[in-house]
Amino acid sequence: MKCPFCSDIDNKVIDSRLSKDGNIIRRRRECLGCQRRFTTYEKVELALPAVVKKDDRREAFNRTKIFNGIKRACEKRPISINVIEGVVDRIEQEIQDSGEKEINCSQIGERVMKALHDLDAVAYVRFASVYREFKDVGDFMVEVRDLLVGKKKATKGEL
């Protein structure tokens, strides 16, 4: 690990701690060249599938895109960043567990839609309006109607 202050590669680990969820290791290091201290974080890098876009382009899986889309849909809603992170973690884990080498962007979008449907109706409709490319108010109303019918069935125990 290169020192961020003097670029020396000789350093020693002073302290190591696991994050609360156990997925990240935080290490306090001291540079042997300039004696300054710095912190590094280690996380396992997962082999995630390539994402196949609508126009057949392939790009690397990008967790940040999912996070930003969900965060945008949840703006001004009573949903914490920790909850959003949890949703993204679950989606990423599902994709990782699938073992596929490629995944269609539509599969990712549908997973996000399901998660938002279960989380918050307003965030769901916001995301759906962009994801499903609503052309007019009619498309929007159909989605809201379907959402309301689903909620009525759930309260009656029909689901």
What residues have CB less than 8 Å from 107, skipping those under 6 apart? none
Residue 86: predicted pLDDT: 95
Residue 159: predicted pLDDT: 46
In Å, how far are 52, 110, 115, 133, 155 from 120, measured between CA atoms? 28, 15, 9, 20, 16
- Do residues 52 and 97 make contact, with C-beta atoms less than 8 angstroms apart? no
Question: pLDDT band at 33, cuts 50/70/90?
Answer: very high
Residue 42: predicted pLDDT: 92
Residue 153: predicted pLDDT: 62
Q: What is the pLDDT of residues 106-145, one digit of tens each?
A: 999 999 999 999 999 999 989 988 888 877 788 778 888 8
Which of 20-29, 39-48, 80-89, 115-124 bottoms out in mean pLDDT, i.e. has the lowest? Answer: 39-48
d(CA 121, CA 15): 44
Residue 65: predicted pLDDT: 96
Chain centre to alpha carbon of residue 85: 6
Q: Is 12 helix (H, G, I), strand (E, B) or coil?
A: strand
Q: What is the pLDDT of residues 34-69, one digit of tens each?
A: 999 999 999 877 788 999 999 999 999 999 999 999
What are the boundaries of each domain within the chain?
Answer: 11-43, 50-150
